[in-house]
Structure 1
Amino acid sequence: MPNQYKPTPPLDELAPHILRYWKTRLNDKEIVQALQKHFDTECYGIGLTKFRQIRVDMGLERSRRQGHTIETIHEAVAELRKMYPHAGTQEMISLLFHEKSMSVARLVMMSYFAAYEPELVRQRKARKLKRKRFWAAGVNDLFAVDQHDKWLRFGLGLHTGIEPFSGRIMWIQVWHSNRNPQLILNYYLDTIAELGHMPLITQSDLGTENYGIANAQTLLRQRYDPTLQGTLQHRWMHTKKNVMPEITWSQLWRRFTPGFENLLDEGVIEGWYDSGDTLQMMVFRWVFIPWLQRELDAYRDRVNNSAKRRDRNKVLPHGVPNLIYNSPEDFGSLDFKVFICTSSRGH
C-alpha cells in the first residue's frame, strides 16, 4: 500500500472525504484507494495502518470493534421499528448505521430477528418478487421523474427524480400538491443548479405537471447544442412504463411509509383533516411538511449511500449509487452530463 515514507495529507482536507466514503460502507482498503483522488500523490501518501489510526481517532469504528450483541441493539431497533415496521435485515442494518451510528454485523441482526421477530421473518420470506429490467447508456443519460399520489388523502403530494443508471435519487420532495408544473420544474432546476450539469434527456409519465420539465430540458439542451433545434429532449412514457421511479415508490412504500402513515392516520384523519378546518390544515402543513421533508432527505441520503443487494438479473452496475454517479469511470461506465452555466438562474 503506498506510500509509507511520504507525509500524510492534512487531516482537515482529508476528513470530509473520509466521512463521505465511510457513509458508503466501503472497507478500509477501498477507502484508502479512493482517497488517492483527493491529494497530490507526488507529495503525500497514506497507507492502511495510518488510515486505520485516523479512522479510529475520528470515532469511526467497524462492527467488530463496536462489538454489538442482540441485547445492545435491542433498544435502538425497537425505537426504529416504530417508524420502519417492515424493515428487513439489510434495511435495519443501514438504519442503525445512518441513524444511530451503530455498525452491526449481519449475523447479529439475523440473530436478533430470529429471537425477537420470528413472525416478521416468516412474512418477509413469503414475499414474491416481480422483476423488471431497465437499461441506460451511462450516468446522466437521463433523469426519470414521477409523482406519488397515495398521500393526497392527507393533503400531501410527493415527487421524485431518479438517475436510473446509478440508481441515485436526485430529489424526493413533499408539498401539499404535486400537480403544479412550476413547482415540479423548480425541483428539477434546483437540482441541476446545485450539480452544475444536466442529463441528456428527461423522462416522465404523460401529465401536465411535467410540461415545465419537458419544456425547460428541451430549451436548455438546444441552448447548449444548437444542432438539437426542432427536437424534443424529453421522453413521454405510457402508464407503468416509467420503471425506475415506480421501483423507488415501491421501496419507499415498503421501507419508509408505514410508520409515518400511522402518525398521519392518528393526527390527520382522526383530527384536523376530518374537521374541515382550513386554518388547522394550514398549521398542520406548516409544522408537518418541513419535518417530513427532513425525514425524506435522510432517507434519500441513506439510500444513495447504501449498496443494493446483488442481483444477477441486473444489467446496470452494482454498487453504491453515489459512488457510481460521482465516479462512473471506476465502474467502466461513461458520464453524459452536459455542463451548464448557473449564474443566470433567476434573471
Structure 2
Amino acid sequence: MNRNQYKPNPPIDSISEPIHRYWKMRKDDKAILRALKDHHIDSSKYGLGLTKFREIRESLGLFRTRKQEHSLDTIKPAMIRLRTQYPKAGARDLVGLLFHEEKMGVSRALVVKYFALYEPELVRERRKNRLRRKHLWAAGVNDIWAVDQHDKWKYKFGLALHSYTDPFVGVMHWMKIWWTNSSPRLILSYHLERVEEIGGKQCVHFVDPGTENYRLANGHTLLRHLHDPSLEGTLQHRWMVKKKNVMPEIGWSQLRHRFTPGFEDILDVGVNNGWYNPDILLEALVFHYIFIPWLQQELDAYRDRINNTAKRADRNKLLPHGVPNDIYKHPSDYGVLDFKVIC
C-alpha cells in the first residue's frame, strides 16, 4: 500500500484567518470546510477532512456551544456587562452579543432561561408590533448602495451619524459618527474611503435630497462616467423622497432599538454632569474628543456583528438567505450577480 496516497493538510497559518472569518459568521463545520476548499485551499496540493478540521479549529481556541458548557452562573457576569449597554436587546440579539463581544457560545434556550429568572418584568414588557411591508428592487450585489443620515443625537449631544448599506444583501458598508453629517466633503470622503478599501464601487446611489449629498451624487456620477464613457450624460444616482429610502430607515430603526438605549443613558450622565454644553466651545470639544472615538469603536463592533449575522428567515423574501458578509464576498455561491465596478 502506498502510504503517501493522501494529500497533506494545508499549513495552519494559511487557513487560520479564513477559519476565524467564517467562525464569526457562525457557520457550522461542514460549511466552513466547504468554503475553505472552494476559496482558500489548493486542492491539487492539499487535502483536509472534517475530523482533522475540527482538531485544527479547536487548536485555534474555537469551541462549539455544547463544548463550552455554559450555565446561568457562567454567563451572568457577561450578561450584566452587556445589559448596561444593551438594556433592550432580546434573546436573539443577546446570543449574538455574547458570541461577538464576549467570545461565548450560548444557546438561545439558556438566555431565555436567564431572562425568566432575572428579568421577568422585561419579558412582560415585550409587545408584538404590526409591520407594514414595503418593496425594494435590486438586481444583485453592488447594484445599489443606499446612504442616509441620523440626527436623533445631533441636538441633544451634538453627535451626528451616517450610514451606507447595500440593500440586496444587507451589508452595512459603514456606520460613522462625527459632530456633523452635513458636510458634502465629509460624506464624499466616506464613500471614497470605502471604494478604495474594496477596490470598486456600485452602479447606482440611493440618496435623500439634501445639500450634504450633492457632492456625493456628483462625485459618484463622475467616476462612473470616467470608467464607462457610454454613460456620459446619464445620472448614476436616484433621489429618494417621502421616506422611500427603505433599507437605511430599517437600519436606523434597529439601531434605535438594539444599540441606542444603553449608550444614551451613558451620554445622559455626561450632559447632566455638565460635561457637554453646546454653548461653551471648550466643553463641547472635550466631550467630542472623549466620546466620538469610543462610540465609533462601539459602532464598528455593532456593524461587524450585523454583517456577520444571518438575517431572520423570511418566506416573503426573494433575496438570498445567509450571512451578509458571506453573500457579499462570494455572490456566485448563492447564485446571484455582482455588479461591482472595478476602480
CA RMSD of aligned residues (A): 1.3
1:5 corresponding residue in structure 2: 6
Residue identity opposite 1:335 in structure 2: D
Residue identity opposite 1:5 in structure 2: Y
Indicate which of 132, 146, 151 corresponds to 1:144.
146
Indicate which of 242, 245, 253 corresponds to 1:242.
245
SS at match of 1:240: coil
- Contact 2:144-2:205 within 8 A present in 1 as well: yes
Equivalent-residue separation in structure 2 for 1:254 and 1:50 (angstroms): 42
Equivalent-residue separation in structure 2 for 1:66 and 1:149 (angstroms): 42
Deviations 1:88-128 (A, max 9, x none): 11100000001100000111111111222222223224344
Indicate which of 185, 207, 212 corresponds to 1:209.
212
- Given the alignment of the two structures, is residue 18 of structure 1 paired with residue 23 of structure 2, yes or no? no
SS at match of 1:126: coil
Deviations 1:176-208 (A, max 9, x none): 000000000000000011000000111111111
- Contact 1:88-1:124 within 8 A present in 2 as well: no
2:133 corresponding residue in structure 1: 131
Structure 1 residues 150 and 34, CA gap change in structure 2 (3 angstroms): same
2:114 corresponding residue in structure 1: 112
Equivalent-residue separation in structure 1 for 2:112 and 2:53 (angstroms): 30
1:343 corresponding residue in structure 2: none
1:169 corresponding residue in structure 2: 172
Indicate which of 284, 303, 306 corresponds to 2:306.
303
Equivalent-residue separation in structure 2 for 1:83 and 1:179 (angstroms): 28
- Contact 1:196-1:339 within 8 A present in 2 as well: yes
Equivalent-residue separation in structure 2 for 1:194 and 1:47 (angstroms): 34
> Once structures 1 and 2 are overlaid, which stretch shifts more, 266-275 or 42-51?
266-275
1:58 corresponding residue in structure 2: 60
- Contact 2:158-2:278 within 8 A present in 1 as well: no
Shift of 1:275: 7.2
> Once structures 1 and 2 are overlaid, which stretch shifts more, 18-27 or 68-77?
68-77
2:196 corresponding residue in structure 1: 193
1:266 corresponding residue in structure 2: 269
- Contact 2:146-2:165 within 8 A present in 1 as well: yes
Indicate which of 293, 296, 299 corresponds to 2:296.
293
- Contact 1:156-1:174 within 8 A present in 2 as well: yes
SS at match of 2:275: helix
Equivalent-residue separation in structure 2 for 1:244 and 1:261 (angstroms): 23
Number of paired residues?
337
Deviations 1:213-250 (A, max 9, x none): 10111000000100000011011010210000001100
Residue identity opposite 2:249 in structure 1: E
> Once structures 1 and 2 are overlaid, which stretch shifts more, 95-104 or 70-79?
70-79
Q: Where do 4+ consecutive residues of structure 1 move more than 6 Å?
A: none
- Contact 1:160-1:169 within 8 A present in 2 as well: yes
SS at match of 2:161: strand
- Contact 1:147-1:160 within 8 A present in 2 as well: yes
- Contact 1:21-1:31 within 8 A present in 2 as well: yes
1:35 corresponding residue in structure 2: 36
Indicate which of 103, 106, 112 corresponds to 2:105.
103
SS at match of 1:241: coil
- Contact 1:205-1:239 within 8 A present in 2 as well: no
Residue identity opposite 2:77 in structure 1: E
Equivalent-residue separation in structure 2 for 1:230 and 1:275 (angstroms): 45
- Contact 2:169-2:324 within 8 A present in 1 as well: yes
Equivalent-residue separation in structure 2 for 1:263 and 1:11 (angstroms): 43
Residue identity opposite 1:79 in structure 2: R
- Contact 1:70-1:108 within 8 A present in 2 as well: yes
Instruction: Please list every run of 5 or more consecutive structure 2 residues that lacks an aligned counterpart in the other structure.
Output: none
1:338 corresponding residue in structure 2: 341
What TM-score does the superposition give when structure 2 sets the normalisation length?
A: 0.96
Residue identity opposite 2:131 in structure 1: L
1:345 corresponding residue in structure 2: none
Residue identity opposite 1:259 in structure 2: G
Equivalent-residue separation in structure 1 for 2:318 and 2:41 (angstroms): 34
Structure 1 residues 182 and 275, CA gap change in structure 2 (3 angstroms): closer
Shift of 1:72: 1.4
Residue identity opposite 1:145 in structure 2: V
Residue identity opposite 2:141 in structure 1: V
Structure 1 residues 249 and 93, CA gap change in structure 2 (3 angstroms): same
Residue identity opposite 1:129 in structure 2: L
Equivalent-residue separation in structure 2 for 1:316 and 1:114 (angstroms): 35
> Once structures 1 and 2 are overlaid, which stretch shifts more, 113-122 or 57-66?
113-122
SS at match of 1:316: coil
Indicate which of 38, 44, 47 corresponds to 1:45.
47
SS at match of 1:254: helix
What TM-score does the superposition give when structure 1 sets the normalisation length?
A: 0.95
Residue identity opposite 1:112 in structure 2: Y
SS at match of 1:159: strand
Equivalent-residue separation in structure 2 for 1:55 and 1:179 (angstroms): 46
